[in-house]
Amino acid sequence: MNALACKCDACGRHMTLLAELPSVGKYEAVNVFRCYGCNSVKSEQEARR
């Protein structure tokens, strides 16, 4: 579970994982993070090998 961490681009605070969207078909899995410092939301594609 240590891969699910993200830093906010705007204020540099730790972002909390809001949702994990599983990969469906050709779409890759996406993690959605939210920053409680500045309230920004960011989604990141999970790196897959």
Contacts to Zn ion by CB under 5 A:
8, 10-11, 35, 37-38
Q: Residue 21: in which H helix or E strand, if any?
A: strand 14-21
Least distance to Zn ion from the beta carbon of 45, Å? Answer: 20
Q: Do 9 and 42 form a contact (C-beta atoms < 8 A)?
A: yes
Whose Cβ is closer to Zn ion: residue 14's or residue 27's?
A: 14
Least distance to Zn ion from the beta carbon of 22, Å? Answer: 26
Q: What CA–CA distances, in Å, run from 20 to 10, 17, 47?
A: 22, 8, 13
Least distance to Zn ion from the beta carbon of 16, Å? Answer: 11
